[in-house]
Each structure stands twice: as structure tokens, then as C-alpha cells.
Amino acid sequence: MNEQAISLLQQILEQQQKQTALLETIASQNLALIEALADGDGADPDAPPSTYLDGSPCR
């Protein structure tokens, strides 16, 4: 395999790694959103939230 082909493959691999990292971030954010929406503690749905999606308390 020549150097140009290897360089191209390295670029493709780098882009795939970036894409994978972004997809993992999206998946974890979606999971946090689903968990927050599924939190059915019987509270008033129109009341302001007491915590942020990351679990930290609202001020």
C-alpha cells in the first residue's frame, strides 16, 4: 500500500473516531433526558424543576 493510501485511511479512521465520540455524547444526553422525563414522582408537572438534567439542584 502506498503512502497516499495509508494517509487517506488514517484520515478516515480519525473521522470515524470523532463521529463515534459524538454519537456516544448524543446517546448519553438522550439517556439523561429520558430518565428526567420518566421521573414520575407524582409532582405537579407544571411546577418548575428542582434539578437539572445532570442531577444538580436548581438555584
Per residue in 4-20, pLDDT tens?
999 999 999 999 999 99
Q: What was the pLDDT predicted at 26?
A: 97
Q: Cα–Cα distance between 56 and 31 in angstroms, integer? A: 16
The pLDDT tens digits for 1-59 are 799 999 999 999 999 999 999 999 999 999 999 888 887 666 677 888 888 989 999 87
Q: What was the pLDDT predicted at 45?
A: 73
Give pTM, 2 decimals.
0.57
Buried b (16+ CB within 10 A) or exposed e, 30-52: eeeeeeeeeeeeeeeeeeeeeee
